[in-house]
Amino acid sequence: MSAEFLSRLTATMLSSIRTRRRSQPRDDERGQGMVEYALILVPIAVVVIVILAVVGNQVNNVFSNVTSGIGN
């Protein structure tokens, strides 16, 4: 093998390694996606709980009326 071939092969391999490193998240960024999902889901869950607390009795009454109406 010639020195020129080995030089090109080495350059190609190093370029490939650098490209892969850039495309993969670093170790300290791996949990970032989960944190972002949690930051989105927690406020949604709080809003749903508050809505259910406010209108929960009204919804329960509607279902009770429907079931008693079906029973007659």
pLDDT at 21 over 90: no
- What H or E segment, with its residue span, contains residue 35? helix 32-71
Q: What is the pLDDT of residues 35-66, one digit of tens each?
A: 888 899 999 999 999 998 889 889 889 989 99
Residue 28: both structure tokens together: 């300290």
Q: What is the DSSP letter of 26?
A: P
Q: How confident is the model at residue 24 (pLDDT cuts 50, 70, 90)?
A: low
Instruction: Give this prediction's pTM.
Output: 0.45
